[in-house]
Chains A and B, each alone.
Chain A
């Protein structure tokens, strides 16, 4: 019937399964939507969509499928209002009989006449037209087919299509660049780097030992399974085109640092050379070589930057953007060294992935680091990649 809605959802990337689709039909079978498109919009959303980041895509799919449908929603409201008024009318026996004699065809005919005359546009006429139906047993039925025809009236109530058109959930969508509101959600993705739960276990040998020493008085020894901590190093591009993003990213990760037991972060400008800066103003630094030697190689490294620079900055000796800075080893070599040392490393890029192919330096860096977008989706995939080395959406 509206199976194309299902496929439309799928093509917009909403993960909807047959299981949910059937559940929706079960709900429709019970008429939980009350023949209203607005309620249908809400119910279908609650059954088919399980994450607010897909609400926007749902809205778009809904618009695609149902935008041309004329709804009876606002007519229904008006008609019901009218019916209430009719109820108060006093009818004598003869009138009642007359009404009961009306058959469906007549009612419909009456309806159409009223409609043609445009009576539904004003209240008095509307009451009359619908009142005729309303007083008879078929009245309730009457307005439904008529409603489909009338639906073109201007709407004042919120129709489902209009709600969908508003697309008020656009901000929750996961493929726009991270803003503050989404930080928390993004943080939750990072938590999957953390050890997941650790249970208590009975240490049997110790327990027996203790109990024996205790002259048979039971004494339990519980032990905690070892807690594995995740280690994360963040290397961040600051300055220039990254300025708008850097504070955001730093806050994101410094908030995460309270949860990741071993967390370090360093800064660089455009490209990375023999010094890693420990502050954003780039006053204090540590030697990159020293850093590579001293840190354990089981750190997970996340680099953040737009990777957009002059090719010379990446590939030349003495190519650094700061004229006072001399580097005898090209930046790309340093990147390769980092990758060689830390197997689990990714690059997060605030630029959209569409543009990556047009920037030469991005292409070079992508040949070293798997690159992910700095969006919810990208971060999620990146973290997954760090954890299990697999990735589904980008070609790596």
Chain B
């Protein structure tokens, strides 16, 4: 059995690694939740890369129907073809197009399938896939073919908890909640992105970053990806470490809402002391 050990470009906690391996061993989908920007989607990429497997992504939108993931029967094309006699329209097979889930099932070897942001779709969407994910097979009535996975794909499902997922669906998953990384883990993550970063710059950036994150009233807290962008901007702009100690340059890369920027800047005037009581007084 394949064991996922992680990859160089993705820092992973021991707990998550164990859970990935549990889900692989049990053949159950792994449901990953967590704050935006904690690397839910990247996890699937990393698994595919680490195990050297083919990778399929099924991006879910609010209009996505469960059946689209299995197959689409292109009736309009067939109707059009029938009018001009271009193709043999009695051969329905050529109008059946497998969806991402279908492709993953039909693959010759074991693959990694990412179902991204499953909560975007309708409430009933996950329920419609229960049987397919359990059996890893489905039936196409138009052609009378059953597509069955020879090797159960490794399924990773991400959710931003915009909607509650139905219980029967949850029962079949292995669940992992990615907590926001602690400062130590964050250091590792940043170093993966910038291997040659100065220790001093890194420490100063993280100090500021976690300081900003502690504001209770932020509408959108900065996440890992924003931190990486910010450090990129600082390095590109050649900002000296001294300057970061006394102010926060390029605040716009960390905070995306005007109210948030105002809030931080307002209390930023007194922030050298890192006085937390000051911050909460400003806020309430």
Q: Is this pair of chains taken from one and the same complex?
A: yes
Within 8 Å of chain A (Cβ to Cβ): is B8?
no
* Stretch from B24-32, B37-45, B200-208 contacting the other chain: B24-32
Q: Using CB atoms, name the residue of chain B closest to A52.
A: B177
Contact A191 B162 (CB under 8 A): yes
Contact between chains at A27 and B22 (CB < 8 Å): yes
CB atoms of A191 and B163 under 8 A apart: yes
**What chain A residues lie within 8 Å of B219 (beta carbons)?**
251, 255
In the complex formed, the residue of B with least CB distance to A15 is: B167
Which chain A residue lies CB-closest to B62?
Answer: A197
At the interface, yes or no: B5 with Cβ under 8 Å from chain A? no
Complex: how many Å from CA A55 to CA B15?
A: 14
* A: interface residue count bin: 35 or more
Mask, B146-181, CB within 8 Å of A = 1, is 000000000000000111110100111111110100
Our pick among B26, B33, B80 for the contact of A218 (Cβ within 8 Å) is B80
Q: How many chain-B residues does the 8 Å CB contact rule pick out?
A: 41
Chain A, 25-68, contact with B by CB distance < 8 Å: what is the 0/1 string?
Answer: 01100101000000100110011011110010000000000000
Contact in complex: B80, A180 (CB < 8 Å) = no
Interface residue? B122 (CB, 8 A): yes
User: Which listed residue (B15, B26, B167, B173) contacts A26, Cβ 8 A?
Assistant: B26
Report if B192 contacts A (CB, 8 A): no
In the bound assembly, the distance between CA atoms of A55 and B170 in angstroms comes to 15
Q: For residue A189, which residues in chain B have a CB less than 8 angstroms away from its CB?
A: 164
Chain A residues touching B, majority SS: helix
Q: Pick the contact of B161 from A17, A188, A247 — CB < 8 Å?
A: A188
Indicate which residue in A15, A50, A192, A220 contacts B173 across the interface (CB closer than 8 Å). A50
Whether the pair B26, A23 counts as a contact (CB closer than 8 A) is yes
Check B83 for interface membership: any CB of A closer than 8 A.
yes
List B contacts of A156 (CB < 8 A). Answer: none
Q: Is the CB of A196 within 8 A of B161?
A: no
Instruction: Tell me if B170 and A43 are in contact (CB < 8 A).
Output: no
Q: Are B79 and A50 in contact, CB atoms less than 8 angstroms apart? A: no
Give which listed residue, B28, B123, B216, B218, contacts A196 with CB less than 8 A.
B123
Q: Check A116 for interface membership: any CB of B closer than 8 A.
A: no
Of B15, B121, B173, B179, which is within 8 A of A42 by CB? B15
From residue 187 to 210 of chain A, which have CB atoms closer than 8 A to chain B? Answer: 188-189, 191-192, 196-197, 199
Contact B161 A185 (CB under 8 A): yes
In the bound complex, what is the Cα–Cα distance between A191 and B120 (angstroms)?
A: 11
Q: Which residues of A contact B26 (CB under 8 A)?
A: 23, 26-27, 30, 32
Contact A180 B122 (CB under 8 A): no
Bound-complex Cα distance A332 to B164 (A): 36
- Bound-state CA distance A47–B27 (Å) is 12
In contact, B176 and A180 (Cβ under 8 angstroms)? no
By a CB distance below 8 angstroms, the chain B residues around A55 are: 177
Q: Is A296 an interface residue (CB 8 A)?
A: no
Partner of A50, one of B23, B63, B175, B218: B175
Contact A218 B122 (CB under 8 A): no
B272 interfacial contact with A, CB 8 Å: no
Q: Which residues of B contact A15 (CB under 8 A)?
A: 167
- Which residue of the partner chain B has the closest CB to A18? B171
Q: Are B21 and A32 in contact (CB under 8 A)?
A: yes
The answer, yes or no, to whether A240 is at the interface (CB within 8 Å) is: no
Closest chain-B Cβ to A239's Cβ sits at a distance in Å of: 15
In the bound complex, what is the Cα–Cα distance between A26 and B174 (angstroms)?
13
A65 to B33 alpha-carbon distance, docked (Å)? 27
Q: Which residue of B lies closest to A180 (CB)?
A: B216
From B63, B165, B176, give the contact of A197 (CB < 8 A). Answer: B63
Report B119-142 residues with CB < 8 Å from chain A CB: 121-123
Bound: A192/B26 CA distance, A: 33
Checking A17, A50, A199 against B31 with a beta-carbon cut-off of 8 angstroms, the contacting residue is A50
A258 to B122, CA, bound (A): 20
Chain A residues whose C-beta falls within 8 Å of the C-beta of B76 in the assembled complex? 220
- A15–B63 CA distance with the chains assembled, in angstroms: 30
* Nearest chain B CB to A376 CB, angstrom units: 11
Whether B253 is near chain A, meaning CB under 8 Å from some CB there, is: no
Shortest beta-carbon distance, B177 to chain A, in Å? 4
- Min Cβ gap B241→A in Å is 31
A284 in contact (CB, < 8 A): no
Closest CB in chain B relative to A378 CB, distance in Å: 15
Point out the residues of chain B lying under 8 angstroms from A47, CB to CB.
22, 174-175
8 sample A-B contacts, Cβ–Cβ < 8 Å, listed by A number: A19-B172, A30-B25, A32-B21, A42-B19, A192-B123, A192-B164, A197-B63, A197-B121
Q: Which 6 A-B pairs have the closest CB atoms?
A: A50-B170, A52-B177, A197-B122, A46-B19, A50-B175, A188-B162
Given contact pairs A46-B175, A47-B174, A52-B33, enumerate 12 new A-B contacts (beta carbons under 8 Å). A23-B26, A32-B21, A32-B26, A39-B18, A42-B18, A46-B174, A47-B22, A50-B175, A51-B170, A52-B177, A185-B161, A188-B162
Give A residues with C-beta under 8 Å from B: 15, 17, 19-20, 23, 26-27, 30, 32, 39, 42-43, 46-47, 49-52, 55, 168, 179-180, 185, 188-189, 191-192, 196-197, 199, 218, 220, 244, 247, 251, 255
